[in-house]
Each structure stands twice: as structure tokens, then as C-alpha cells.
Structure 1
Amino acid sequence: MQNVSIINFNSLYEILDEIKENLSFKIIKFENEENFKKKLDLDRMDCLIISKTDHKLLLNDNLTHKNFLDLNGLPLSLKKLLELISIKLIKLKFNQQSNVVIKGYELNLNSKFFSKGSINLKLTEKEIEVILYLNNTKIKHNVTDLQKNIWGYSADMETHTVETHIYRLRKKISDLFEDEKFILSHKNGYFIS
């Protein structure tokens, strides 16, 4: 669930707090910019910020104009406000998913392109899941682990399905990028180092 941080705007917070069960986002209240800066989670920059004060005071390397919703066009209806918030959160999520960097490659989760420099490789949804899973946990994953966590494990599923899938993904990357070490194989399983 995405966060909407409301800074120094108590009346807006109170309105949204009254209907929070019906919202698709979490609202967080901050009395002032200093409190917000103290609690700011730099790893989660997908939050939307609504503040009465000038948001230029909060801009930094992680927070950009994209993180702020400007309400200078007040008054506006609650319905219109919720619509603006939803649109802004969708844009933030889209931008957040645009590029994930893994070992010098860019993985665009929206377009499903895996690229390095000017070379692009179109991946399937399952290939993306495999890459993200192997990258997120820095351990070696055996076939059973991958069956369970990527394919949702099926007792009657052939182990060759996982091995074949990984083989084909490694081959695609090797053929196009001449990189045979992106996904590595070890006796304990597969991994991205």
C-alpha cells in the first residue's frame, strides 16, 4: 500500500482520516517539515506528499516534484481530490517500476525490457519473476525453492520445467549480451551475484 504523507495540513488529514477505510492508500500525518524529515524513509520514495508549505524546502536527491501534489487550485471537491491523489500515486508507482538496475543491466518492469547500453531483450513475465527473485535474495536457490516461490509449486510439476526455463533465460542473455555469468549455477542452486 502506498503512503500519502500530509504535512502541516491538519484539516485535510482529518477529512481523509474519517474515510480511511475506503482509501486505497495509507495516510500519515506530520505536524511540520522537520518531523517529516526525521521519519523519512529514503528506501521508500514512492510516497506522495501534500503540504501547505512550499515543497521546495523538502526536495532532495530522493524527493522530486513528482512526489508532491500541489493543491493551489483550491477549492476542490473531495471526489476530485481523491481522483488527483489516485492519479499521482499511479504515476509514482509506474515511475518506481520503470527501471530496476541489476548487475549493470536495466530491467524495465513496465515494458519488460532487459537492457544494457543500446541492446534490449524482451522478457516474459516469468523470466522477470525469476530475475527479481534471484536478485532480491542473495542466496542460492535450488529447483524446489524456485518451483515453490516462482511457479507456486505443484507436486506433479516436472523439475525439468524450472531447469529448462532457467537454461533458456541464461542462453538468451548469453547470446545477446555475451554474458554467461549473469545467472550462475552452483551445486546448491541458482543465484545472481
Structure 2
Amino acid sequence: MIKQNVFIINFNSLYEILYEIKENLFFEIIKYENESDFIKDTGLNIENSLIVMKSNSKLLNKNIDEKNFFNIGIFPLPFKKLLELINIELIKLKFNHQSKIYINGYELNLNSKFFSKDDLSLKLTEKEVAIILYLSDAKKKHSVSDLQKNIWRYSLDIETHTVETHIYRLRKKITDKFKDKNFILSHKDGYFIE
């Protein structure tokens, strides 16, 4: 499981508390002394990350999405409550992040598994979502054996028909619904999404 990041800006006491138990946390903690260092370092690339500041601090940079920002109102507060608040915010952030993923003009909602474009939408299976995400993630061609290994977790000596059948059915669903024959492309080196 990939850990989410929690950026702590100008809040040394919170960082020190969390640092003591960092091995037990489900998120990574990263400390910044001030907002300008944070912005310079991250370049505002904070997708799926939480920014934590004290209640009397203000987020000066307007380019930071409000949903990534968490301001702790009352401090000190019970430690268990603090972790609970941070975890709730991270869950909300992850849910929001998974709500809309854009791939070649389509919107993929990982929470509902709907694939949409314009006013049309298509319900996908878990495996179809995994195929689309995998093919779109690395801009390269994926062989049948690569898909077997990374999507189905099969060994390389298993029949290849499973992968080919799933790809065929997914392409057909997309073609029938959106009239798009070029969403998943095939090449002698494998399948890919441009």
C-alpha cells in the first residue's frame, strides 16, 4: 500500500509528536519551517497529500487546492483525536482523488467504477478498471505476459486467452458505448493507451 504524505508547515510540536511514532503511522510526515520553502520544494505537486498548519496560520498560496489543506483548530488536543482527524482527512482526500481520473478525454471514477465522456457513461468491472489504469499509467506498450503478471498475477506459463478475451470485451464495450475504436490500441509489442 502506498502511503500518503502529510506536510506539516510551521508546526514543530506536531511534527515532533508524530515523528516519535512514525513507524506506526499509515502516512509519511514531512516537515517545513515555512510555506515558501514548502512551495519551492514541492512545486505544488501535492496530489493525494495533506497540508497541516496551526489554526492561527493562513494558507497564503492560492494555487493550493483547499481540499488538500487541514487546519487544526484547537491545539493541544488528545493524541488519539489528532490521529483520528488526520486519518479522516486523508480518507476524504483519497476518496476525492479517486472520484475523477482523466484519461484521454474520459473520466474514470474509481469509487463507482463509471467510465464517462460527455453525457455517456459505462459501468466497468474491477478488472476493466485495473486494465485501463495499468495501460494508461506507463506510456508504453504492455505485452500479454506483462498484463498476466501485473493484472492477473498469473505465472507466464498460463494460457493467454484470459487477457486477450478481457481486452477484446473491454474494447467492444467502449466502441459500442462511445464509438471509439482507438481508446485501447494494439501493436506487435502489446496493448497501450495513448
Shorter-chain TM-score: which interval?
over 0.9
Single out whichever of 37-46 and 131-140 deviates more from structure 2.
37-46
Q: Name the SS of the counterpart of 1:163 in structure 2.
A: helix
Displacement of 1:154 after TM fit? 2.8
| AA at the equivalent of 1:29 | K
Single out whichever of 109-118 and 155-164 deviates more from structure 2.
155-164
Residue in structure 1 matching 2:52, options 45, 50, 59:
50
Single out whichever of 143-152 and 110-119 deviates more from structure 2.
143-152
Displacement of 1:155 after TM fit? 4.3
Output the CA distance in 1 between the equivalents of 2:34 and 2:80: 26
Residue equivalent to 2:31: 29
Single out whichever of 97-106 and 150-159 deviates more from structure 2.
150-159
1:163-174 aligned at under 5 Å gives the runs 163-174=164-175
Q: Normalising by the residue count of structure 1, what TM-score does the alignment of the two structures yield?
A: 0.92
Displacement of 1:156 after TM fit? 4.8
Deviations 1:13-69 (A, max 9, x none): 111111212211111111111111111154432211112353330331xx2221122
Residue in structure 2 matching 1:59, options 55, 62, 78:
62
Distance change >3 Å, CA 33–CA 25, structure 1 → 2: same
Q: Normalising by the residue count of structure 2, what TM-score does the alignment of the two structures yield?
A: 0.92
Output the CA distance in 2 between the equivalents of 1:43 and 1:192: 24
Gaps of 5+ in 2: none
| AA at the equivalent of 1:128 | V
CA RMSD between the two structures:
1.5
Output the CA distance in 1 between the equivalents of 2:35 and 2:60: 8
- How many corresponding residue pairs? 191
Q: Name the SS of the counterpart of 2:70 in structure 1.
A: coil
Residue equivalent to 1:13: 15
Single out whichever of 37-46 and 138-147 deviates more from structure 2.
37-46
Residue equivalent to 2:131: 130
Q: Does 1:180 align with 2:168?
A: no
1:86-105 aligned at under 5 Å gives the runs 86-105=87-106
Relative to its length, the structure with more strand (as a share) is: 2
Displacement of 1:153 after TM fit? 2.1
1:65-144 aligned at under 5 Å gives the runs 65-144=66-145
Output the CA distance in 2 between the equivalents of 1:173 and 1:189: 19
Output the CA distance in 2 between the equivalents of 1:171 and 1:162: 14
Q: Name the SS of the counterpart of 2:107 in structure 1.
A: strand
